[in-house]
Amino acid sequence: MENFFKLVVVVSFVFLVACSNNVSNSNNSSITGNAVVDESQENLLINYDFSSGNTEGWGYFEQNGSGEFSVVEEELEVKVNDSGKEDYSVQIYQDGFLLAQGCKYELRFDAMSTIDRSFGVRFQINGGDYHAYSSNNYDLTSEVQTYTLEFEMKEPTDPAPRLALNLGTPKDLETLEAHKVYFDNFSLVLLDDSNKVESSIENKMKQININQLGYPLDYKKIAVFRGEDVDKTFDVVNIETNKVVYTGDIEKEFINKTSGETNYYGDFSNVREKGKYIIKTETLGNSYEFEISNDIYERVDYDILKMLYLQRCGVELTSELAGDYAHPICHNDEATIYGTTTKIDVSGGWHDAGDYGRYVVPGAKTVADLFLAYQSKPDNFGDNLGIPESSNGIADILDEARFELEWMLKMQDSESGGVYHKVTGANFPGTVMPQDETSELIVSPISDAATGDFAAVMAMSYDTFKSIDKDFAEKCLNSSKKAWDYLNKKSTFQGFKNPSGIVTGEYGDSTISDEYLWASVELYKVTYDKKYHTEIKENYSNKSLGLGWADVGIYALYDYLNIDNDKVDSELFNKMKNDLISAADEALKLSKNDGYFISMGEEYPWGSNMTVANKAMLLQMANKIAENSEYIEAARNNINYLFGVNPMSTSYVTGYGTISPVSTHHRPSQSINSTMPGMLVGGPNSNLQDPYAKSVLANEPPAKCYVDNSQSYSCNEITIYWNSPLIYALTNR
């Protein structure tokens, strides 16, 4: 998963394209008053003449360079102290305007420099590969000149581009001496919109939201309506016969703070006949189409698991099995252990997310979810997923889990038993296919979190594989014990921090007691060795009770409850059972108090869709320990949300539903311009953690802080461990 450091990294893919200059000279000695800002035309930039006396609206970025910027006498002064290695080593920028496809624009500004130098101006995409929509290089002298850049926006409308002024070291030149550059009187105006291409982003929001896949015949079915003035009744229309098959009442008013709207509800559970339908009312229009059928999840069940195969690293994916997402072997060179010259083979495993990093911590969550899904309904999982191990007599979900486990085994230091946190490049790659990320692979240091998670899933693997492949199972068990011993010897646990120079996903969990507990439970479950039980009894706490990559307590607790009765401490058993039920009751309560019936609450964090899938999973796990039909109902409601019963009227699983994400932050999909099906995207994130989200979602309520754009990595990335709880949830729906 990406993080803020991405900005720093990917800027390195920015290259200047030199174009013809368009400069008019002036003899004025003061910079003020050269470029004429035509007041009759709307200036798309803010604080363009610095009469505010401050830098509001302008940002500063540096990498391997150093500078300062401020407004002096109503002009922008940039001190370039060290021009760095790259043209973007010192950069000034402004965001927050829109460039519409087919329109012509003109940028105009005055500038001078205390030394003769060239510099670059770019209008660029503010994310992904940061490529330029238009750019130009200019020569600056101590004389004030007016510069212009006329261009046509040829690419699809961008509501959040960046104007960047690159003041680092121009290409092919030596570092410049310290100097100052002055700017004033910027104007960016629309010259010609006669060829404007109307944005295809029409309003896709519906006033009536349903699960866009549909509903099995006997499921409860509730449509969520919104609006100020809603009708009293709604109709369910069979779209094949165009007949109204049911008319129901629109009921209950709910003021929904998280989506900033008023919701109403319509129950159409009585419609049980197989078919394709819409819901409509006079004033709210239609819902999207949906199906009533017991097969609605059949295809998506397949694709959300197949997605893991398509994320495989270190092997060739053939077009026979991977279709458009086929690729040659990738990331197969030996990797260097951070801070050493030692190289080891850590090939294999799944690419974690939209990037190609491989991380033990989230990988362990994914594998645990697969094991739990398999154990809950082994007969659901076939041997025909279309992976290299299909038809080998072993359920493909287990083959897929093993692919990750084989990689994880390579991530264990054979001497200490500790497990390396991750293997990635130093930086995130550009928008390339996996085989084209060729930067040096670096193994980050051993972490306590990775070691604990590893010990837990290796013991689970022993449990699952002991009847399938005894040698492999034993290998997993021995590795698990070794990892546990590593942690057991430590007096305190430490969270992982990215070492200097590595900026890929950190997964920096600082509470490791839950990982250690989980490892102890899984090892006790398969060995009944008292030393593990002692640790469980001494260390159990109801903190970190989650199913996330950081809080793993529920995994520990659930599997302790699955140990034979005569092997558990009955007092602890009861305590854990109560804690699990409390957690499920809390999820149930949240679901009942939510406008769209999900167990989320008021905040929508990064990866909120994982939270929704995890809550469905939690409710289903609790149902296995203490049967409660309300848990199953609430789990189904969480699932319905992911497929369209939400304020964005979106199915958050790619390729499924009428409206689903088509512009994910996922490098293979971006590289071939076709979105891989069966990926659950991160979803609404009210913390607005990328520049694109900040630009376009600033005024949205939490549940609507979502945009289907590949630049928005904090809303629209995908990960293996967002798919995996959905695999469990759909298995136990």
Q: How far apart are the first and last CA of the chain?
A: 28
# of chain residues touching Ca ion (CB under 5 A): 14
* Cβ-proximal residues to 723 (8 Å cutoff; 6+ apart), any chain: 304, 305, 307, 308, 366, 678, 679, 680
Establish if 643 lies at the interface with Ca ion (CB under 5 A): no
Establish if 47 lies at the interface with Ca ion (CB under 5 A): no
**CB 394, min distance to Ca ion, A:** 4
Establish if 184 lies at the interface with Ca ion (CB under 5 A): yes
Choosing from 235, 301, 404, 509, the residue that interacts with Ca ion (CB under 5 A) is 509
Calculate the alpha carbon distances from 403 to 1, 471, 659 in Å.
Answer: 20, 16, 33
Choosing from 139, 152, 383, 569, the residue that interacts with Ca ion (CB under 5 A) is 383
Q: Which among 143-151, 386-394, 493-501, 689-697 is the span making contact with Ca ion, rule CB under 5 A?
A: 386-394
Q: Which among 56-64, 237-245, 375-383, 597-605 is the span making contact with Ca ion, rule CB under 5 A?
A: 375-383
Establish if 453 lies at the interface with Ca ion (CB under 5 A): no
**CB 395, min distance to Ca ion, A:** 6
Which residue in this structure is represented by tokens 């298995």? 731
Which residue in this structure is represented by tokens 């003021």? 255
Alpha helices by DSSP H, listed for 176-323, are 298-310, 319-322
Nearer to Ca ion, 186 or 246 (CB): 186
Establish if 77 lies at the interface with Ca ion (CB under 5 A): no
Choosing from 9, 48, 49, 462, the residue that interacts with Ca ion (CB under 5 A) is 49
Establish if 239 lies at the interface with Ca ion (CB under 5 A): no
Establish if 392 lies at the interface with Ca ion (CB under 5 A): yes
Q: Is 571 a catalytic residue?
A: no
Q: Which among 89-97, 104-112, 310-318, 550-558 is the span making contact with Ca ion, rule CB under 5 A?
A: 550-558
Q: Is 717 a catalytic residue?
A: yes
**CB 548, min distance to Ca ion, A:** 8
**CB 85, min distance to Ca ion, A:** 32
**DSSP state for residue 426 in the 8-state scheme:** S
Q: How buried is residue 342: exposed, middle or buried, by Cβ count under 10 Å (0-12/13-18/19+)?
A: exposed
Establish if 511 lies at the interface with Ca ion (CB under 5 A): yes
Please count the residues of the chain: 733
Choosing from 13, 19, 74, 100, the residue that interacts with Ca ion (CB under 5 A) is 74
Helix (H) or strand (E) holding 393: none
**CB 467, min distance to Ca ion, A:** 15
Establish if 468 lies at the interface with Ca ion (CB under 5 A): no
Nearer to Ca ion, 403 or 643 (CB): 403
Rounded CA-CA distance 15/87 in Å is 8
CA-nearest of 181, 120, 135, 133 to 159 is 133
Single-letter amino acid, residue 169:
T
Establish if 437 lies at the interface with Ca ion (CB under 5 A): no
Q: How buried is residue 21: exposed, middle or buried, by Cβ count under 10 Å (0-12/13-18/19+)?
A: middle
Establish if 514 lies at the interface with Ca ion (CB under 5 A): yes
* Cβ-proximal residues to 683 (8 Å cutoff; 6+ apart), any chain: 604, 607, 608, 609, 612, 652, 706, 715
Among 87, 301, 594, 717, the one annotated catalytic = 717
Choosing from 139, 150, 267, 389, the residue that interacts with Ca ion (CB under 5 A) is 389
Q: Which among 252-260, 379-387, 526-534, 688-696 is the span making contact with Ca ion, rule CB under 5 A?
A: 379-387
Nearer to Ca ion, 514 or 700 (CB): 514
Q: Which two tokens stand for residue 641?
A: 């949300």
The phi-psi region of residue 359 (left if phi > 0; otherwise alpha if psi is between -120 and 50; otherwise beta) is beta
Nearer to Ca ion, 103 or 552 (CB): 552
Nearer to Ca ion, 399 or 579 (CB): 399
Site map 394..423 versus Ca ion, x via CB under 5 A = x-x--x------------------------
Yes or no: say if 204 and 121 are a contact pair by the CB < 8 Å rule.
no
CA-nearest of 632, 661, 686, 709 to 216 is 632
Work out the number of other CB atoms within 10 angstroms of the CB of residue 68: 13
Residue with the closest Cβ to Ca ion? 74
Q: Which among 71-79, 123-131, 228-236, 486-494 is the span making contact with Ca ion, rule CB under 5 A?
A: 71-79
User: What is the sign of the dihedral through the CA atoms of 263, 264, 270 and 272?
Assistant: negative
Tell me which residues are annotated as active site.
708, 717
Which positions touch Ca ion (CB under 5 A)? Answer: 49-50, 74, 184, 383, 389, 392, 394, 396, 399, 509, 511, 514, 550
